[in-house]
Each structure stands twice: as structure tokens, then as C-alpha cells.
Structure 1
């Protein structure tokens, strides 16, 4: 009556945003391409209003750019973009893991261990069929890195990290598709980070995480 969204409306917008986010990350929607509402309706269904809401959500996340009076387009994905995203992600994530080590309890440690275990299982499959398990790997990878900062006590830091990680997703998946992902190095880095967390070695955890993020320029 007063313009509030119904739960169904919110669900539709969320589903459309998730599909767009996936297709941007996987390169189906290429950087700089125009996002025309009618074309998107044919691909994703939903109303024009729901699509605009989803695009506005992705604009806030930095995956889509709003053009003055001209609709939307997929955000750029240049090397300069990658370096900027990586630099910010390194700062945010290393602060987050430090705070988590300061405040996290045994339950948090268990959450990190579980996230690493799930990622490890996906990594086993990924090497055999990279394209088939790419999106599963990306989801498990993100879950592990989110777990590392989950006990930071800062919802804003976690939210900012979420957006940065999603913005870097396109670069990781592009590297995977093009055969540029070093699976062994990624596994070793994740294991070292976990080991440092379980030892409660803040210096080692921050150093390992920094090396992991910057060594692959955000592609892991």
C-alpha cells in the first residue's frame, strides 16, 4: 500500500541479482557491455522493475555501472582495476584476520577448519574438471576467506570485504578458464593460513594471507 516490497519481490530481485552476479563473474556478461532491460528480461525473466532493482544492487557492489540517463553496463575489468581491488582486499582482509585472532574462540576456529576442509574437497575435483567445478570452487574459496574474518566483530569490514571479493571474482575465474591458476600454490597457501590461525600466530597469519592475496594478484 505504501510502496513496501513484498517478500516475494525481494526474493525475485535476489535471484536475478545472483544470476547476474554469476554471469558477470564467469565472463558471460563481458566488461563494458550494455545491460539492456528487455534483453535481460528475455534471459533472466522477471519484471523490468525487478531487473532495475537487481542492477542497482550490483551497482552498489561495484559489478555494474549506472550510466546517466542511459541505463547500465558491466563494470570494467582492467589490470588497473585488479591491482586496486587487490590492494584494498589485502588491507581489509589482513585487518579482519588480525581482529578475528584477537576475538575468535574455539567455535570460530572450527568454522575456519570446516571451510578449509570443504574447499580442499572442491580443489580435488577442480584439478580434474576445472570448468565443471569452477563456480563451486569460487563459492568455497569465498566461504573460507569469509570465515577467516568472521570473528572480527566488524559487520562493516565483513560487508566491504564481501564486495571486494565479488569484484575480484571475474579475475580468478578468467585465470581458471585460461589455465593460469596454480592449484598447488593455492592449496599450500590456504594450508599455511589455516596452520597459522590454529597456532594463533597473528604475524604468520597476516604474512601468509598477504602473500597469498598479492602473489596471485587477487586471483585466489
Structure 2
């Protein structure tokens, strides 16, 4: 029987928390180097600030800026009923982040509208796992589910993960936007399988 999303989330989070500090650091450094290889001076990238046991490290944001990229970070907001809204985006500047909900850090205003994701060619997406068809397992909050449909269809949507978090198959939903790639410390950039009728950027 296939594990449920809740079971998968619990197992992956437990494995991440149990990771030795030196392994976490080495993987973060490898991910940073691989991520920087994906950008060119002048590129605008949607990324995120890793927190807790998430793969990567905040230093990857500085590395992207040093490589000449403009880095946009997500700003999460909910409506009056507590329903997640599509993410807003703020430009990353070292030392310019403030504490936000969900234990995150976000850029100070001004923020760009949710549609700003549609003008970038690379979106780095937090994930707990991804499968060979691009189905992403997130934490279940729903912010990216509402934001990724606004991305350019030709953009690279890259889930940043540990090597063993790429699965053969994961449970998915009809509204899921598939990832085009996975980025792992040991295996690098992995192109994910092309679903029927959908062209994949390379």
C-alpha cells in the first residue's frame, strides 16, 4: 500500500532532523554550487530562504547575488478567512530580511505582485520529495499550489532536495503543477519525465 502524504511528510522530516550536522553542511555547500551553475549574470530567480532542516542554506542567496542574479523571495499572506493567497515576491538584499509567519524570513517592502513569477526563467521550489513525473510533495500549506500556475510555461521549476528524496511515484492531485527538474547535492540537476502533452524546458 502506498504511503499517504501525511506519512511521507512525517518520515522525510524525521530523516532530515536526524541528519548529522557535517552531512547537512556538506550537502548545503554542494547544492549552493550546483544552483549557482544554473544562473547567468542578469537572470532573475525566484528562490526561498531555507529554514530548519530544509536542504540548502541561506548563504545560497548571497552566492546567487554574487553571480549576478536578481533573487526574489516569497512573501506568504492569507485572506481574512485564513486561506493562503498566491505568493508575493520581494527582492533579496543581504541583511534586509525580517521575521515572518511559519518561522520564515521575508524581504521588507516594497513587494512585487504574485504575477512577478511569470517573468522569471528559474523558480527554485521548496519540497519534501518529488517523483519521476514531477509531482512535488510540499508541506501542505498551499501557497505554491496557488503560485506555480502563474509561472511561465517555459520556466524551469526546480525542487531542491536531498538525493534520497527523489521517488519513483508520489500521490498527487489534479491541480498539482509538475516540477521540471530536481536539484540534489550528489546527483545534480535531474530532468523529470515529460507528462503526456506537456513540453519540458531543458
> Higher strand share goes to which structure?
2
TM-score, normalization: structure 2?
0.26
> Higher helix share goes to which structure?
1
Structure whose alpha-carbon radius of gyration is higher: 1
